[in-house]
Structures are given as C-alpha cells and as structure tokens.
Structure 1
C-alpha cells in the first residue's frame, strides 16, 4: 500500500507538484525576478503571509520542477490573484489545483498531458522576452549549468578585449 496521496486529496499547489516526485523551485516574476523559498510559498498558500512583491494585484511566479522522469526541467508561469491584503485568493488556487488534479487522473487512464491543462488556463502567462532572458540566466546559475557558448565572446566584446570592430 502506497503512502502517496491521491490527486483529489491534495489541497495545495505545493503538495500537488511535489507528489509527482520532482523537486520544486519557486521564483517571483513580478517586480523583480528572485527566488522564493519553499517555506515562504507554503505560508503564502496557507494564507499566513501576503505576497512580498505583488504586481497589479497578482503574484507572478515561475515554478521550476526538476528531477522528473526525463530529467528535463519543467517550467510553469502562473499569475495568481491576490486579495486587498496581498494574500492569495484561495478559491483561484483551489480551482487551479483541482484542474491539475483532474488532468493528472486523466493522464493515468488516457494519453493526456499536463501542458494541455495549462493551455487555456486563466492563471498561466508568458513573460516578455527580456524577463525570460533574466529568468533563464538565474535558473541556469541555480542549476549550476554551464554558461552559453556565446558567453566568452560576449564578455570579450563588452570588456573591449575583442575590439569594437568585432
């Protein structure tokens, strides 16, 4: 008998995503792109604290899942609504969790996948290109990935070592 909870028994987004066996990293994508600790996000989900840097009455976040079956990181960009105190509107989060849990249950019986559940979801957003570049740089550093092939040339160019005609 497994101790893994069923999708319909999971009440928070953190519980649902960690039940897949992957490691979860959270980032604030609002005013400033920065890492959010797991404990801080859990307190936010439990309505104990307000979102630290709300933007337009939403918590803009990136969820990075690592350690999945194919070892490819999975990234979700979510825009969760906040109440007048800057705290999570739990009905919106519950709707999102329920929708993911339904897709997860369907995935066990059919050829459905989670990205399809996010396709028409009102809580999903796509960051602008410059924010995406900053986010990519931050997660690359966090995951200790090697620098881009273009990094050395760009560094030489901006430092003036390569000459301005390059």
Structure 2
C-alpha cells in the first residue's frame, strides 16, 4: 500500500509490489496537480479586485475645521470597475481588503492635520486615522494602511482635516484597495 508525502505525492513502500512505470506516472500526476493548484491560486490572487485613485499637484484646498473628502483627479489602476472619480472605490466582492492611503499637505505653521480612511455602508465607519502637528518648513506626509473586512456595495473614501485657522492645500494623495482573502 503506497504512502504519501505531506504535499500529497504518492510513493511506494519497500513492501509494495514494484511497478516503476505506474509509480512514476502517479508521481508525475501528483506533481502536475500540485503545480496546477499553485498556478490557479496565483492567478486568482493576481486577478483579485483592486483599484487605486490618485491626486497630483496642489489641487485641493482644504478648509479649516471641516472633515473634507479628498477629490482625486485620476484612476491609477482598476481591474474590477471599482474606482469612481472623484472620490471613492466601491467594493464589488465581500472579503478581506488591504486599504492604503497617503496624502501630503503643503507646509503650514499652525494647527494640526489628519487623514482618515473611511467606509460608507461597512461595519467600521473610520477604518484608520493618523494625525500630527504640521511641519513649518517641509510638507507633511501622511501614510495609512489597514486590513479590514468589506462587504459588496461598501464604498471606501479618504478624508482630511486641518485646523490651521485658514485653508490649507493638499498637494497629492493616493487611495488603494485590494482584496487579499475571501
């Protein structure tokens, strides 16, 4: 009676009747099935729903004291019809998603700034938030990463907040959503 490896490859025991052609064929078929399953998993991962929105240049003026949805200017990538300009990515399949975002405010001398990854129609309204005091001589770069369960029909947006007492300029921004597991 043959035995199998942890990956499922069949091999004969010394006590088995030896039939080399049949045994090598069984090994070849096991390897082929294993490699095909790895290939199929790789293709499924590469074709997982994914989208990315971008904003470049000092385009969006952010008023003081108001949570403001970022208005993106272009779609960087979208393999599933998820991106909707100017502001959101709509989830097309329920699952676990990697949500990333980044934004750069032009330098400011007073107040604080924040960036929020938000969900409409999901379990968690604010997926991730990062805040910091503004830099006075350099631009303030924010970066957020979250792993979150999303439902089909949910929309993901990015919002910003600043309280400098005057308008502030958002220099660039990026929002990406990729399904990583069912």
Query: What is the TM-score normalised by the length of structure 1?
Result: 0.25
Q: Which has the higher helix share?
A: 1
Structure having the higher Rg: 2
Query: What is the TM-score normalised by the length of structure 2?
Result: 0.24
Higher relative contact order (CA 8 A, sep 6+): 2
